[in-house]
Structure 1
Amino acid sequence: MSDAPSSALPASIDETIELLAGEDYLAGRSLGTVVFLALRMKRPLFLEGDAGVGKTEIAKVLSKALGRPLIRLQCYEGLDVSSAVYEWNYPAQMLEIRLSEASGVTDRGRMEADIFSERYLIRRPVLQALSMEGGKAPVFLIDELDRTDEAFEAFLLEVLSDYQVTIPEIGTVRAAEPPIVIITTNRTREVHDALKRRCLYHWVDYPDATQELEIIRRKVPGCNEALSRQVVSYVQKLRTLDLFKNPGVAETIDWATALTELDRLALDPETISDTLGTLLKYQDDISRIQGTDGKRVLDEIKAELLAAG
């Protein structure tokens, strides 16, 4: 991949899939279609799915592939306008006021115009995303929107309607070109229909075994083929066990990397027990897999792989 990729948008679904694949993101036809349409129609893309399925990665990959800056708004409970949009540099403003008073400036209108200017404006992610720099509209990632409250969701709906925000002291800032907006949610709560209607929607699921094996081949090239197949088969089985937190694609990659670093050529009960912390993140899940469930899964995948040749 070139260090300075073209910012031209893909002209077809196939080109979109190839664009993502060029950055080692393997997208199925349905995902490739909705990404293509979001880019062409200039509509936000609303991605929903379990944690760890690669929703956030889509925004990162588009940023790299299209050569556009990535602006990320990480959502959390209590997120407000000052953290998400803009705020004033109050310490610098106070210092400027004292310096002006010390130098004998008494014109309050002039003083106010000076301190409420671009010089003292701190741009947060929303304002950054609307302020195109370098001639390219950025990729604007609104990550884990379901963590915020409904008040911020309503504000965001207003922003996405016209791609503008109003700063009382300065005026309205409007995007010269709408950013490429990617919204993700882990579905810890339902997002209001009004916002979803502004977007194109896609449910991002875990990859199937064939896709996940290809991901391992690309991301962990040092992992031998036999071990890669065992790792993918094992993880695919774990996702059927109703664990507290199923391992995501990132955890599969981490596990394959860890096993490669340990020079393992195949899975065995001891190796699985020793390395589960790279794959599972909750002790109850680890304890369960270190017990009879883990051995049963290993026996099943070895029998299946042996039968498949």
Structure 2
Amino acid sequence: MMLTSPLDLAKELEDEGYLIDQEAATTLFLALALEKPCLIEGPAGVGKTQLALALARAEKRRLIRLQCYEGLDISKALYDWNYAKQLLRLQLAKTEDWDEIKFDLFSEEFLLSRPLLEAILSPEPVLLLIDELDKSDEEFESFLLELLAEQQVSIPELGTLTSKTKPVVILTSNNSRDFSDALRRRCIHIYLSYPSLEREISILSSHAPELAEGLIKDVCEFVAKVRKLPLQKLPSVSETIDFARSLSALHKEQLNYGDLMGTLSVLLKYPKDVAKLEERLKKWESETLNRR
């Protein structure tokens, strides 16, 4: 589908259940128009991966996802050789010329495509999501530069393979480490932070329309306060939705500080954070009673 403006893109994403602000929509639109990789950065849980997934659906592109981790190497990300099939070929060709066999063994017939090569070789347009790139090391980051700049990869035995369908490339990062200037220069950047109160209310209303309006507003205001605390992990948007649904399951139509014990582990994932919030709740409840 040909998108003619950031507004069109925002509407397509909204139809796929993702609400994006005007600034991010404009930046993402430009990345698509210029056929440049888009690096989406921000804290965990702000919707970086979900934006890529929604974009793949909106653009009707098959999603190819590479989940990064420490120690990720070319054999897991780009390609490997089918050693069992090569061995069988050797066993069936003992009388053939070795030079001919060697050439045959390292042909595409024996190649195992990993996500990066699969995206390059795909005959149909795809969206390549390189998720949490900051978890990989600098060596792997350097390896990506050719793909990001020229949409091609080099395999010593086969030469350079260039994409025919130009995949949309989305990279995400939780900012656990910084990237090189070389990688940043090849990308257009979006920084996603936690949504404003108004936007989170809209997101929650869209994803959980069965919830009472008063409960949605109360939960979003509460989560906004929680995110100001010095916690190990601040609650994500998806955890806000789960928390609101949990209160609804307990037949709550509004949020009361005194009724939250036992529910906070839905919102926070570390016991120390839960304990810290429980202490703060006592203070907030006291302050609320004093104002009455």
TM-score interval for Structure 1 and Structure 2 normalised by the shorter chain: over 0.9
Alignment of 1:66-215 (within 5 A): 66-101=59-94, 105-134=95-124, 136=125, 138-215=126-203
CA contact (8 A) 1:226 1:266 kept: yes
Matched, 1:34 2:27: yes
From 8, 17, 38, the counterpart of 1:15: 8
Instruction: Give the letter for the 1:210 counterpart.
Output: E
Using the alignment, how far apart are the partners of 2:254 and 2:182 within structure 1?
Answer: 50
Alignment of 1:277-288 (within 5 A): 277-288=265-276
The change in CA–CA distance for 1:298 and 1:279 in structure 2 (over 3 A counts) is farther
Seq. identity, % = 41
Scaled by the length of structure 1, the TM-score of the pair is 0.88
Using the alignment, how far apart are the partners of 2:173 and 2:12 within structure 1?
Answer: 24
The Cα of 1:222 is off from its aligned counterpart by 1.7
The change in CA–CA distance for 1:157 and 1:282 in structure 2 (over 3 A counts) is same
CA contact (8 A) 1:230 1:302 kept: no
The change in CA–CA distance for 1:271 and 1:12 in structure 2 (over 3 A counts) is same
Instruction: Give the letter for the 2:210 counterpart.
Output: G
Alignment gaps of 5+ in structure 2: none
The Cα of 1:115 is off from its aligned counterpart by 2.7
From 196, 214, 223, the counterpart of 1:235: 223
Using the alignment, how far apart are the partners of 1:116 and 1:297 within structure 2?
Answer: 67
The Cα of 1:150 is off from its aligned counterpart by 1.1
- Residue deviations 1:263-302 (CA, integer Å, cap 9, x gap): 33232346422122221111110111122x0244467789
From 259, 264, 288, the counterpart of 1:276: 264
Using the alignment, how far apart are the partners of 1:76 and 1:191 within structure 2?
Answer: 15
- Residue deviations 1:179-230 (CA, integer Å, cap 9, x gap): 1111111111111111111111121011011111111111112211111111
Matched, 1:259 2:252: no
State the secondary structure of the residue aligned to 2:247.
Answer: helix
The change in CA–CA distance for 1:229 and 1:274 in structure 2 (over 3 A counts) is same
CA contact (8 A) 1:234 1:301 kept: no
CA contact (8 A) 2:205 2:211 kept: yes
State the secondary structure of the residue aligned to 1:73.
Answer: strand
Using the alignment, how far apart are the partners of 1:276 and 1:198 within structure 2?
Answer: 42
Alignment gaps of 5+ in structure 1: 1-7
Using the alignment, how far apart are the partners of 2:229 and 2:88 within structure 1?
Answer: 60
The Cα of 1:76 is off from its aligned counterpart by 1.1
Tell me which stretches of 4 or more aligned residues in structure 1 moved more than 4 Å: 297-304
1:60 aligns to what? Answer: 53
Using the alignment, how far apart are the partners of 1:213 and 1:160 within structure 2?
Answer: 36
Using the alignment, how far apart are the partners of 1:184 and 1:152 within structure 2?
Answer: 15
Instruction: Give the letter for the 1:200 counterpart.
Output: I
State the secondary structure of the residue aligned to 1:100.
Answer: coil
Using the alignment, how far apart are the partners of 1:284 and 1:127 within structure 2?
Answer: 43
The change in CA–CA distance for 1:174 and 1:217 in structure 2 (over 3 A counts) is same
- Residue deviations 1:69-98 (CA, integer Å, cap 9, x gap): 111111111111111100011122212322
Please give the root-mean-square deviation of Cα atoms over the aligned residues, in Å: 2.1
Using the alignment, how far apart are the partners of 1:132 and 1:302 within structure 2?
Answer: 62
CA contact (8 A) 2:28 2:38 kept: yes
Using the alignment, how far apart are the partners of 1:260 and 1:166 within structure 2?
Answer: 54
The change in CA–CA distance for 1:283 and 1:259 in structure 2 (over 3 A counts) is same
The Cα of 1:68 is off from its aligned counterpart by 0.2
The change in CA–CA distance for 1:11 and 1:117 in structure 2 (over 3 A counts) is same
